A and B are shown apart, each in its own frame.
Chain A
Amino acid sequence: MSGEEEENAAELKIGDEFLKAKCLMNCEVALILDRKYEQLQQMSDDPMNQVSQVFEKSLQYVKRFSRYKNPDAVRQVREILSRYQLAEFELCVLGNLCPETVEEAIAMVPSIKTRGRMHDDDQIEKMLTDLSLIKKFE
């Protein structure tokens, strides 16, 4: 949004501040925003009036695009992806989009190959298989 020096998520050039920040997958954001909405409901009869349009739209968006609804499944996804030496940003993009093939994963998160940590297509394949298993047993 601000035209910074060659910002490019495909190469993980997102600025130090966000590289080190805690990144959230849509399913995790859904849990947080749900909790906040419940708190507001307890405090007033008209919570919808109190939240901004940004909040409403974000809540709708993350609920619609969460691949995992169960909090345990969400935790598992993060745990599984954390085993693979990914940056937080890459982890969340994969958790959000759930690519099915190795080519798709590399097309969506090119930095997993270029950054030189996951040379092995087999490793990526294993990661995607582990991810899809959670979905099956959710």
Chain B
Amino acid sequence: MFFHIVLERNMQLHPRHFGPNLRDKLVAKLMKDVEGTCSGRHGFVVAITGVDNIGKGLIRDGTGFVTFPVKYQCVVFRPFKGEILEAVVTMVNKMGFFAEAGPVQIFVSNHLIPDDMEFQSGDMPNYTTSDGSVCFGAWLPLALNFCIGTIKDDFLGVINDPGAAA
């Protein structure tokens, strides 16, 4: 699930960057350091949308570096256990399949796929029910459990819309 939250970070800047563009350099460094990272608490930082406040810089003892506390807004992707979301299947094999939801990779094991779905190997490996009626190699809603997913629940599995192949 995507959230828009405010985070805070202490940025260290070398004195060679001081000057009229100090703020721009700080923001650029923030973006470079933080965007694309992932933490257990906040999930993936997808994009920084704005900088709220840059506090007073503090010179560090022993070095010439200055630390600025920066408060910024960003979009994060933080999956939760028990969350239902849509994902794109990326790889299918007899142990189960891998899917991607945004930046996060999910594995759905054989054991968490309904029993009436069987693995079919071949050019386009997939899982099909015995009467051939339901088959996915495309996208499906899954329930998240520490990025292990399951489709063994009501309304999980194939999405009704006819879809493009993964």
Interface residues of A (CB under 8 A from B): 1-3, 7-11, 14, 17-18, 21-26, 28-29, 32-33, 36, 51-55, 57-58, 61-62, 64-65, 89, 92-93, 96-97, 99-100, 103-104, 107-109
Q: Classify the interface of chain A: helix, strand, loop or mixed.
A: helix
Minimum Cβ distance to chain A for residue B49 (Å): 6
Known: A1-B40, A21-B4. Is A9-B82 also a contact (CB below 8 A)?
yes
Q: 20 A-B Cβ contacts within 8 A?
A: A9-B80, A17-B5, A21-B3, A23-B2, A32-B4, A32-B47, A33-B75, A52-B35, A53-B36, A54-B36, A54-B37, A54-B46, A58-B75, A58-B103, A61-B100, A93-B83, A96-B86, A100-B160, A103-B155, A107-B154
Sort chain B's interface into a size bin. Answer: 35 or more
How many residue-residue contacts, CB under 8 A, span A and B?
Answer: 124
Q: Is B102 an interface residue (CB 8 A)?
A: yes
Query: Are A1 and B36 interface neighbours, CB within 8 A?
Result: no
Q: Which residue of A lies closest to B83 (CB)?
A: A9
Q: Which residue of B lies closest to A35 (CB)?
A: B49
Contacts of A107 in B (CB 8 A): 153-155
Report the bound CA distance from A4 to B83 in whole Å.
Answer: 15
User: Which of B2, B45, B103 has the most chain A CB within a 10 Å cutoff?
Assistant: B2
Report the bound CA distance from A8 to B82 in whole Å.
Answer: 5
Report B150-166 residues with CB < 8 Å from chain A CB: 153-155, 160
Contacts of B112 in A (CB 8 A): none
Q: Which residue of A lies closest to B85 (CB)?
A: A96
Q: Is B94 an interface residue (CB 8 A)?
A: no
